[in-house]
Amino acid sequence: MFEIRNKSFAISPESTIHARRVHWNLTPPLLYEEVVRRGEAMIASHGPLVIYTGKCTGRSPLDKFFVEEPSSKEHVWWQENKPFEAARFEQLKQRILEYYQQKEVYVQDCYGGADAQYRFPARIVTDTAWGSLFAYNMFRHARLDSPRDFAPEFTVLTACGFEAEPAIDGTRSDVVVAIHLGQKLALIAGTRYGGEIKKTVFTVLNYLYPLMGVLPMHCSANIGANGDSAIFFGLSGTGKTTLSADPRRKLIGDDEHGWSDNGIFNFEGGCYAKVIRLSAQDEPQIFAMTQRFGTVLENVVIDPETREIDLDDASITENTRASYLLSEIENHEPTGMGGHPKNIIFLTADAFGVLPPLAKLTPEQAMYQFLSGYTAKVAGTERRIKEPQATFSTCFGGPFMVHHPMVYAQLLGEKIQRHQAQCWLVNTGWTGGAYGEGRRMPISHTRAMVDAVLNGSLRDVPYAADPVFGLAVPQQCPGVPDVVLNPRGTWADTAAYDAQARRLADMFCENFAQFADRVPEAVRAAGPLQA
């Protein structure tokens, strides 16, 4: 890697960045020096950087737009993706380029996609040094002799210190994420949350890869000693990162992957793990990453004198995060690739306490669960939430799906059938009652269930159909008490369970109605049983 301190460079034939200074492809030690010089972050006692993202402690999905332009217009699912005028985009781009003129900017040339056949070159430009370290951690590095050897297929311009003006820029607020697929350019302004950079690249890949017959997936993945790959779908808080970080299996990646005719491959070179109340005992690999040089910790509370971090303190946000290199995980898969998955696990954290903790799915049920993308929010994660709220995020990544959901679901169904993958639902949520009455499923039980799925020990156990959700529930699982496997039996009030289960089933059906005219009858029939 290297550093060039020039003052301008082209991002397209029509646009050039002019800046006070440009720092190109700095390594972590150099970026640390820049962070300290600029006073951007604190260095914690064991070496990670601690930064605070201010008003934005998470993504701003309502402020994300796609430019309505000829090359992509017919492919974009406009029901969920908001349009942005091309003229407004040009004006906003010029305003950001003018902002850069008085700033130092940092550039990282990198790749999305471990598979060389589908590798996607991207250039990430930031107005902070820590943002460049975040990009260095999250994406695969372009090992170059000269920056002129790198030809980006997409450029992301990030301006944390620039605030959009709705009256001028046509935005909803002073935060904006605007993507122009035709120009291969994205603008991120008004937010310091690193996840916007990561998810913007993921969004672009979610547009491009289906056009190549590749399924982009919001999932983690690992691989066993015998080469058996597994993928884990799940929304935030369901255990996707935790359960895939298994010391007995190699981690391919924790969040974003593609499934091509070659197998699965990680989009990234790093991990972006949620670390609130992280346990050194239950999640040792991730915990270790919060104690090392090069990690970027977002919104983690730190003692101002000792510089010790407190992972249990959620006073800033529940959404505390760690960005670190995947290569720092001891048992990572260095190629970032694996064969076609043998097992596909859909994770949910059901706060209603009624879904079985483990169930085997038919291919049709897998497509139903994939399109539904269910989990539940609980009190404390967002203001004004007093009781569990069902959350349905299409394809377990609704905000990042550019095409209609059936484009992704059909790719998934075809690949499941072609490669004979076995599909499972694992509920990491509540047992013995809903949130507030029952308790969270012990992680030791969940790990035992996942182990049983991956090692094949559920092959010959008896199964029973769940009377409400129609799922095949194993009646035995090594390391898990039999009573835990059937949620109704864990409730003291079975009538209350029946009412709660029916309530959630109706929510599933109501949500799925939006897909009814596009899915095969067998998939429509794979949801909860009608009352």
Query: What pLDDT is attached to residue 241?
Result: 86
Kindly state the DSSP code that residue 529 receives in the 8-state scheme.
P
Q: Examine residue 2 and state whether it is found in any structural domain, yes or no.
A: no
Query: What pLDDT is attached to residue 383?
Result: 40
Q: Backbone phi, then psi, for 287, in 5-degree steps? A: -55, -40
Q: Examine residue 408 and state whether it is found in any structural domain, yes or no.
A: yes
- Sort strands 49-51 and 296-298 into parallel, antiparallel or unpaired: parallel
Q: Are both 355 and 504 inside the same structural domain?
A: yes
Nearest to 31, CA basis, from 297, 259, 293: 293
Helices and strands (H, E) in the chain, number of each type: 12, 33
Query: What pLDDT is attached to residue 454?
Result: 97
Q: Examine residue 288 and state whether it is found in any structural domain, yes or no.
A: no
Query: What pLDDT is attached to residue 380?
Result: 41
- Looking up residue 130, the CATH number of its domain turns out to be 3.40.449.10
pLDDT along the chain (531 residues), means of 10: 66 87 94 97 97 95 96 95 97 97 95 95 97 97 69 96 96 98 98 97 97 97 96 92 91 96 97 92 91 98 97 95 94 95 97 97 97 81 59 94 96 97 97 93 96 96 96 97 97 96 96 92 92 62
pTM above 0.95, yes or no: no
Q: Are both 208 and 355 inside the same structural domain?
A: no
Q: Range of 132's domain?
A: 8-40+61-212
Catalytic residue ranges: 59, 199, 218, 236, 240-241, 255, 321
Q: Are both 205 and 346 inside the same structural domain?
A: no
> Where among 212, 238, 254 does a domain terminate?
212
Q: What is the 3-state secondary structure (H, E, C) of 294-306?
A: CCEEECCEECCCC
> Where among 212, 238, 260 does a domain terminate?
212
Q: Examine residue 266 and state whether it is found in any structural domain, yes or no.
A: no
Nearest to 133, CA basis, from 256, 333, 270, 11: 270
Amino acid at position 27, single letter: T
What tokens does 165 get? 């003006």
Q: Examine residue 54 and state whether it is found in any structural domain, yes or no.
A: no
State the total domains in the chain. Answer: 2
- Looking up residue 484, the CATH number of its domain turns out to be 3.90.228.20
How many angstroms separate the CA atoms of 389 and 375, rounded?
A: 9
> Where among 212, 245, 273 does a domain terminate?
212
Q: What is the 3-state secondary structure (H, E, C) of 424-485?
A: EEEECCEECCCCCCCEECCHHHHHHHHHHHHHCCCCCCCEEECCCCCCEEECCECCECHHHH
Q: Examine residue 386 and state whether it is found in any structural domain, yes or no.
A: yes
Query: What pLDDT is attached to residue 45?
Result: 96
Query: What pLDDT is attached to residue 147?
Result: 58
